[in-house]
Amino acid sequence: MLKNKYGYFDAKKREFVITDPRTPRPWFNYMWNDRYAGLISHTGGGFSYLDSPRDNRLTRMRYNSLPWDRPGRYVMVKDTESGEYWSLSWAPTLNVNYDLYECHHGMGYTRIITEYKGIRGEITYFVPRDETGEIWKISLTNLSERPRNLEIYAFTELLMGNALNDLINQPNDKHFTDIHFDKESQSLVATRRYWVLNKKVSVIQPNIDWKYILQFASTLDVSGFDASLDTFIGKWRSEANPLSVETGEMHHTEITAGDPVAALQSKVKLEPGNTLDFSILMKVSEKESAKLSDINSWKSQTFIEGKLSALQQYWQDYFSVLQVETPDEKVNTMLNTWNQYQAAVTFDMARNSGYYHGGLLFGTGMRDQFQDILGMVMVEPERVRKRLLNALQFQFNDGSTLHNFFKLAGTGERTRHSDTPLWIPFGLIKYFSETGDASIFEETVPYHDEGEGTVCEHMVRAMDYAISETTERGLPRIMNGDWNDTLDHIGPKGKGETIWGAFFLGYILKEAVSFFDFRKETVQVKKYSQAYKTLTKTINDLAWTGTWYLRAFRDNGQPVGTPEDDQGQIFLNAQTWSVISGMATPERGNTALKSCLDQLETPYGMQICRPAYHRIDDTVGLISRCVPGKKENGAVFNHASAWFVLAALMNGQIEDAYRIYQKMLPVNSGTDIDRYETEPYVFSEYVTSPEHPTQGQASHSWLTGSAVWMLYIGYGYLLGIRPVPGGLLIDPRIPADWDKVNITRKFRGKTLHIRIHNPDRVNMGVKSMTVNGQSHDSQVLDPEKYDGRELDVEVRLSDE
């Protein structure tokens, strides 16, 4: 079993179980559906929102706060005999020593189990798949031998509206809250009498209502309530010791101004050995059509159980699309569960709503969105299709794009990052390769400024725009940065050039050529093949240093990333993409990757560049203002490190690729989890490199492009089962000591049971392949050519 000192993986239940709450950071999970989402830490901390974490936040979480993850969704139990009270999620009453504490972070739910003074509490937090609300499902068991009189307090701090405004204008914002207790539905009914929907910070406010009401209810009889944070918590106190809990007196405050809380009290008696099941409900409805009594239907145990099992069924179906069995338990754990799950989270949360991403600034990044489909597209292609069509609205007529957009505001920022438009063809071709759905290219989508075009036109405009934004000598202008956001001052005058961007453009051109070739569109094939050829020559003429490729040229023509530089000497992306794009000659590709291994390999993966910038360099940008060894300034930036794994696999350096892949797995962090700090079940954006005293420390977990890339590279290149326009390409590139791999993959309406045999212990080379017992000549399998829903695929590797 995989474990560390704070917990272990339960592979069967797909849970990470935390057994000691004193983790080095709060360890989070997500519970969400298409509209309603929440973060939940292993202590019950976190926040919820509807549609947009910036514009429509429901509950509050304070950033930069101590303790770390406050507030959250708390249920406290008080023993009326002793007066002692404790929380069912450890926080906020941290100092209690429980006889048992377990937090089970599972798929879309988090269950926290505690035992204290003979009372066992189990609280399961989840968001139903099809409701705008959340449920805290609770069981209390009396393990002691005497009857217990208990008071139960459930509470959460409300925000209701614009979270950015709440942060900067809370003393004024609190004049618009409105909460009362509805006797009929026995629920607290909360709303706000205005809604800030500005696209930026502004003193001008729109004259509109918050469109929703939020109801907070219990399935138990309510003996008291409070809507005012001040009266519930009391003066000079915190959520760790609320006055109302201490005194047992709720104030029944209904507020029309003030800081809002939703707090309910219930009183119960538990006989020895008895269990009481109840739930706390939070439901959001549109104000105009809301019927307060609707929450009553949520109160039945059947409803609650039904919603929980529907959620479990959803995830069971989700994982049935891809399951693997390799000799490496860590790879299995990541690919079968956590990596897929994290990919689903990034699909919906982008780089926006997390503990490290406050949900106020980024919205959905265009480039992130078109990459983040890589996991979800296998499972819910229709949802991905809709998402792609939606995102295309943020492309301009000339092919350029907004850099990011906000769901409710309907617009975002135009930052002129050079790579962003090119992720459009990237995502669309990947979508097509998975689904074979050519109809998407005929859909019409408006441009963000004027006019409209088919999806195919959108894609072509993105590429043509990128080709047109090249300098006289034919390299892409870096503009305000490329994938590396922090290389943002290399080309302020419009002359600076990106070498990584050139390889990326080359990769997209190559992909476009195969795509148009598949569609038999010869004009496009010719056009983009020519562009690829010309660009390949230009890069190789201008950017090769003899040992690796340069990263960029500044406005004044000075190169970035030369062997002579004493900082920012070598950049990983320029080397890896020289191979991924197929633009490096085999000799240069080998040399470039060897330079990466010599210069950039660390115990945690590959550094993004080295040496990190120790002096500020105004002609490079933010990268050099960040401390050395962290983030883009020389950390092991997992997204970029993943691309090394990809390049090495493509280059036939399988053992190197596998070594780096393994080093990057968060599961490995168990060896020194106190140093690593973040959740061991998901990738973090980066791990501090040896160039910083905190080396080995991870940060910005969950919302990172490495989630989808490590998944895609893992199943698509390492195990080598990869969608291409013509079907599924079978080209495993596995460690030589793996004798066999089994894969179940649903693909274009069929279930494929793939068995890879490696009797000669080689890394790669498909010697023979059979489908349903019949020999199959090509490595590309088109399942639509076969009858029946199940296909047995036998693959034999050999270097003969």
Binding site for ligand IFM (CB under 6 A): 351, 365, 367-368, 483-486, 632
Residues ≥6 apart with Cβ < 8 Å to 590: 651
Query: HSE-up of 322 (CA within 13 Å, CB side)?
Result: 31
CB of 697 to ligand IFM, least distance (A): 18
**Residue closer to ligand IFM (CB basis): 485 or 691:** 485
Residue type, 271: E
Distance CA 91, CA 28 (A): 14
**The dihedral sign for the CA sequence 668, 669, 673, 679:** negative
169: region left, alpha or beta (phi > 0 left; psi from -120 to 50 alpha)? alpha
Backbone phi and psi for residue 263, each to the nearest 5 degrees, phi listed first:
-130, 130
* DSSP class per residue in 294-338: GHHHHTSHHHHHHHHHHHHHHHHHHHTTEEEE-S-HHHHHIIIII
CB of 733 to ligand IFM, least distance (A): 26
Tokens encoding 290: 């809301």
CB of 299 to ligand IFM, least distance (A): 43
Residues ≥6 apart with Cβ < 8 Å to 323: 336, 743, 744
**Residue whose beta carbon is closest to ligand IFM:** 485
Tokens encoding 684: 């973090």
CB of 355 to ligand IFM, least distance (A): 15
Specify which residues 85 forms β-bridges with: 78
Distance CA 686, CA 700 (A): 7
**Residue closer to ligand IFM (CB basis): 368 or 434:** 368
**Residue closer to ligand IFM (CB basis): 484 or 651:** 484
Tokens encoding 543: 């950017």
CB of 27 to ligand IFM, least distance (A): 21
Q: What distances in angstroms separate CA 645 from CA 327, 546, 652, 699, 704, one per listed residue?
A: 19, 23, 11, 21, 16
**Residue closer to ligand IFM (CB basis): 500 or 715:** 500
The length of the chain in residues reads 800
CB of 60 to ligand IFM, least distance (A): 26
CB of 349 to ligand IFM, least distance (A): 13
Inter-residue long-range contacts of 470-478, CB under 8 Å, 24+ positions, other chains counted: 471/495, 471/497, 473/538, 473/542, 474/534, 474/535, 474/538, 475/499, 475/501, 475/502, 475/538, 475/539, 475/542, 475/543, 475/553, 476/418, 476/501, 476/502, 476/505, 477/418, 478/418, 478/552
Distance CA 424, CA 318 (A): 25
**Residue closer to ligand IFM (CB basis): 31 or 707:** 707
**Residue closer to ligand IFM (CB basis): 162 or 346:** 346
**Residue closer to ligand IFM (CB basis): 262 or 350:** 350
CB of 716 to ligand IFM, least distance (A): 20
CB of 137 to ligand IFM, least distance (A): 35
Q: Are 265 and 104 in contact (CB under 8 A)?
A: no
CB of 596 to ligand IFM, least distance (A): 18
**Residue closer to ligand IFM (CB basis): 351 or 745:** 351
Say how many C-beta atoms besides its own lie within 10 A of residue 622's C-beta.
Answer: 18
Residue type, 528: Y
Say how many C-beta atoms besides its own lie within 10 A of residue 34's C-beta.
Answer: 12
CB of 685 to ligand IFM, least distance (A): 7
**Residue closer to ligand IFM (CB basis): 36 or 362:** 362
